[in-house]
């Protein structure tokens, strides 16, 4: 959070948010729209049914340049960066020496450079981390003032292709440089809602024009942070600082899929990243005391972050790290950490809310089908 006497930053689209009735709140040091007149629930449903446009310009955008950039970056993450094909992007994790997660990020191979997008609250630390650890042969160029828009939903591609037909052949996790209405942009086919869509990095001078061009398409509405959170939660996607942080390892966080096979114990480039010994040992031995799980409430009351989870005997066995009402499925959804023996699907637990025990079941996340365009 930002203290009241600290100056909040504004994204290049701040004036447009005000013009369109965005309700602005402090978030990661920025003034950001939490919702528009449509309201959080309708914004959520609109994104699931049509297409939503999100201003995520508060995220950190960085270019890594130099022949050794991929090899150097691979030493900081448990992910295959060296063999990441040109025109593709990959989800990655910065880990520390204890195996904890410092941040989660996206890395794109644009041929002569890597494009890295990091979380807003972590970007200063992440930039310092890369500058300190990547070596003198890698140039770390921070893209200041640039906008980042996420267009998400089943009709996102239809609208985007109308504006720039060259994106039609892109599939999930493709990434490329492209011109949109005269602006030199970076675009990836990915997102944070579980829906098909695109993330578009736009020069600051072109941001307002491109945003208005997108909003002029009949499918698209501006969507705030409130619906962004409920959308990502329904899709089982972690929020850094809540569901993952420096106290959680990728194995505890059920992010095993994010550790490339070539970096695991029997892989051709095993280890070599911070905390590798701890993380790789946890993969082999499965010796973790807690796991991140999905949870579905049996009643109607949403279960919020921080709620204690207890077993039938009233003993504390975990805690909720994200929770909301899922408008798409019509029931409360949450994620949290529970003692490993309670992590099996269908296990009944109870969330303590205002002194009452509300029943929840461990459930498979995502809670809604992911609809990425894989070709």
Could you tell me the CATH number of the domain that includes residue 331?
2.40.30.110
- d(Cα 41, Cα 266) in Å, to the nearest integer? 46
Q: Which of 234, 251, 271 is the last residue of a domain?
A: 234
- Do 32 and 160 lie in one domain? The reply is yes
Residue 240 has pLDDT above 80, yes or no: yes
The answer to whether position 358 is within a domain reads yes
Task: List, for residues 88-105, the tens digit of each pLDDT value.
Answer: 999 999 999 999 999 999
- 223-240: average pLDDT: 98
The answer to whether position 151 is within a domain reads yes
Contact 115, 190 (CB under 8 A): no
- Do 30 and 157 lie in one domain? The reply is yes
* Ramachandran quadrant class, 122 (left: phi over 0; alpha: psi -120 to 50; beta: rest): alpha
Residue 5 has pLDDT above 60, yes or no: no
Q: pTM above the 0.85 mark?
A: yes
CATH of residue 18: 3.30.1360.120
Per-residue pLDDT at 6: 72
The answer to whether position 81 is within a domain reads no
The answer to whether position 123 is within a domain reads no
Q: Which of 202, 234, 266 is the last residue of a domain?
A: 234
Contact 320, 372 (CB under 8 A): no
The answer to whether position 114 is within a domain reads no
DSSP state of 20: T
- 18-36: average pLDDT: 98
Q: The domain containing residue 299 runs over which residues?
A: 289-366
- Do 184 and 325 lie in one domain? The reply is no
The answer to whether position 78 is within a domain reads no
Per-residue pLDDT at 3: 46
Alpha-carbon distance values, 325 to 75, 240, 287, 290, 335 (Å): 39, 20, 33, 24, 12
- Do 228 and 157 lie in one domain? The reply is yes
| 76 cis-preceded (ω within 30 degrees of 0) | no
Residue 47, SS3 per DSSP:
helix
Indicate the helix (H) or strand (E) that contains 161.
helix 156-163
The answer to whether position 315 is within a domain reads yes
Q: Count structural domains, the chain.
A: 2
Q: Which residue, among 59, 101, 40, has the nearest Cα to 234 in the 3D structure?
A: 40
Report CA dihedral (143, 145, 147, 148) to the nearest 10 degrees: 40
- Do 185 and 298 lie in one domain? The reply is no
Q: Which of 234, 256, 281 is the last residue of a domain?
A: 234
The answer to whether position 131 is within a domain reads no
Structure tokens belonging to residue 271: 């280890």
Contact 281, 287 (CB under 8 A): yes
């Amino acid at each position: 959070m930002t203290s009241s006497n600290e100056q909040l930053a504004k994204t290049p689209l701040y004036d447009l948010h005000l013009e369109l009735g965005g309700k602005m709140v402090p978030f990661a040091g920025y003034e950001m729209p939490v919702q528009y007149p449509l309201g959080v629930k309708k914004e959520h449903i609109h994104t699931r049914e049509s297409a939503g446009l999100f201003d995520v310009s508060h995220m950190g955008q960085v270019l890594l340049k130099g022949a050794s950039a991929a090899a150097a970056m691979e030493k900081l993450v448990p992910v295959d960066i060296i063999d990441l094909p040109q025109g593709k992007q990959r989800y990655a994790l910065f880990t520390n020496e204890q195996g904890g997660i410092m941040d989660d990020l996206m890395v794109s191979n644009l041929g002569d450079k890597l494009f890295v997008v990091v979380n807003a609250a972590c970007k200063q630390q992440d930039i310092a981390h890369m500058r300190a650890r990547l070596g003198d042969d890698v140039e770390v160029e921070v893209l200041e003032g640039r906008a980042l828009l996420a267009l998400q939903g089943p009709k996102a591609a239809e609208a985007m292709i109308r504006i720039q037909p060259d994106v039609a052949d892109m599939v999930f996790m493709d990434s490329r440089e492209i011109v949109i209405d005269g602006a030199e942009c970076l675009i990836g086919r990915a997102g944070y809602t579980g829906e098909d869509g695109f993330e578009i990095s736009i020069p600051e001078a072109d941001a307002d024009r491109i945003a208005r061009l997108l909003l002029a398409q009949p499918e698209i509405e501006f969507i705030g942070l409130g619906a962004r959170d409920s959308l990502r939660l329904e899709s089982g996607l972690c929020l850094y600082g809540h569901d993952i942080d420096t106290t959680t390892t990728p194995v505890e966080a059920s992010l095993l899929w994010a550790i490339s096979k070539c970096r695991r114990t029997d892989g051709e480039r095993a280890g070599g990243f911070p905390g590798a010994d701890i993380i790789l040992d946890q993969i082999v031995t499965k010796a973790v005391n807690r796991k991140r799980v999905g949870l579905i409430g049996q009643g109607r009351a949403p279960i919020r972050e921080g709620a204690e989870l207890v077993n039938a005997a009233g003993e504390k066995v975990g805690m909720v790290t994200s929770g909301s009402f899922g408008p798409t499925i019509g029931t409360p959804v949450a994620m949290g950490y529970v003692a490993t023996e309670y992590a099996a699907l269908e296990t009944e637990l109870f969330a303590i809310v205002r002194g009452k025990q509300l029943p929840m079941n461990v459930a498979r996340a995502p809670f809604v089908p992911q609809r990425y365009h894989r070709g």
